[in-house]
Structure formats: structure tokens, C-alpha cells
Amino acid sequence: MLDFGFMARCVPLFVKAAELTVKLAFWGIVMSTVLGLICALIRYWKIPVLQRLIGVYIELARNTPLMIQLFFLYYGLPRLGLLLEGTTCAIAGLTFLGGAYMAEAFRGGLNAVGRSQIEVGMSIGLKPSQILRHVVLPQALAVSLPVLTATAIFLIKETSVFSIVALPDLMYVAKDLLKEGHSTESNILLVLSYLVIILPVSLIFGWLERRVRFAGFGY
């Protein structure tokens, strides 16, 4: 039988941990989206040198686990004289990982925009910045939205490893409560906590995708 009394007592702990998780996930997703868009634009415009460096970054980020990246930031950098707080490491690690996936999502959207549309924009006297803002980006964002949604949800799930940098997130609280011998109750609360966080995000992005599809952008 489940110990509902124990679960009720633990709810405030999970609520507090969820607040931290949401905060870290939010900033990680925002910053990785900005980084990914910048990287995608550099590759789209084929800027020399930077294009190759970004290619290396994307391969490095996508082929190394977030846990390893966090270990380097939290335990490795201090040996080089740079000490970062756990919160800073978590956001930096999530941004580093997420930026690579976001860059690929944006790159797919940008490549889906026909070059003929850019040529038409130039023929009517639009500046490159205007073409990017009014022609390319709206369509690219629409095409990229499903992948961006999946990446955002993926990054939220990746916050489960933040406990290794001594942050009292959801996984940290669950592991701590396991010591009391209530593994089933702790796991149920952990699953419910992530469900409460991720489900609204999924529903909101799903609504946005339907709106974009209805408007006809990128489809």
C-alpha cells in the first residue's frame, strides 16, 4: 500500500524543487534558442571560418552527454582557476547542449525557404536584413516549430541530471527521499512532477503548431 501521508508531507519539497527545475529549464531553453538561431544563421549565410567552428561545436555538443559537460563545468573548470556556481553550470550546460539541437532545427527551417523568394525580395529593393526578418525567418520558424518543441521538451527532461552539480532539483529530492525507504512513493511524485511541468509545455506548443498550420506558414 502507498503511504499517502508520506507523499503529502513530501509535496512541498517537490514543489520547491519543481520551481528550481522550471527556472533552470526556462533560461536554458531561451538561451539555447538564441544560440541555435545565431549558429543557424551563420551557417545559412555561409560565413567563412565561423561556419566550420559552429560545425565542430554542434558535433561536440550532440555527441557528448550533458552529464559529462556538467562534470567539466563544475569539477573541471575550478582546476583551471574558474569556479562556477551550480546554477550557472546547469544553465550553461543546458545552453551548450540545447544550442546545437536548436541550430539544426533552425537550419532545417532556413533551408526549406526557397532561394527564389530571396531573389524576389532583392529584386523589389528589400535589404538583406528586411528579407531575413519579413521573408525568411517567419517561414523558417514555422517549419522548425515541431522540432523546436521536441527539443524544448527534451531539454526539460535533461534537467534530471542537474543533481550532480549539487542542485536541489526534482531528481535530487527524489534520491534523498529514497534513503527513507519510500521508493515507490518518491518515484510516483517524481513522475507526476515532471508530468505537471512538461504536459502544459507540450499542449501550448501543440496549440501553436495548429495555429501556424491553420495560417499556412511553412506548410
Task: Give which of 157, 216, 155, 205 is closest to 27, Cα–Cα.
Answer: 155
pLDDT at 215: 64
Residue 190 contacts residue 174 (beta carbons within 8 Å): yes
Report the percent of the chain where pLDDT is more than 90: 60
Residue 174 contacts residue 7 (beta carbons within 8 Å): no
Q: What is the mean pLDDT of residues 114-138?
A: 80
On average, the pLDDT of the chain sits at 89
Q: What is the helix (H) or strand (E) element at residue 112, kind and residue range?
A: none
Question: Residues 91, 96, 97, 100: what is their CA dihedral angle, to the nearest 10 degrees?
Answer: 140
Confidence of residue 217 (pLDDT cuts 50, 70, 90): low
CA distance 42 to 46: 6
Q: What is the mean pLDDT of residues 167-196?
A: 89
Task: Give which of 66, 191, 76, 207 is closest to 149, Cα–Cα.
Answer: 207
Grid coordinates representing 122 are: 532583392
Helix (H, G, I), strand (E, B), or coil: what is residue 86?
helix
Q: Does the domain formed by 4-215 have CATH 3.10.20.310?
A: no
CA distances from 5 to 90, 109, 185 (A): 33, 50, 10
Q: What is the DSSP letter of 218?
A: T
CA 182 to chain centre: 32
pLDDT of 26 higher than 90: yes
Top-confidence residue, 112 or 101: 101
Q: In the chain, what are the domain boundaries?
A: 4-215
Q: What is the DSSP letter of 64?
A: S
pTM (2 d.p.): 0.89
Q: What is the mean pLDDT of residues 181-194?
A: 90
Grid coordinates representing 54 are: 559552429
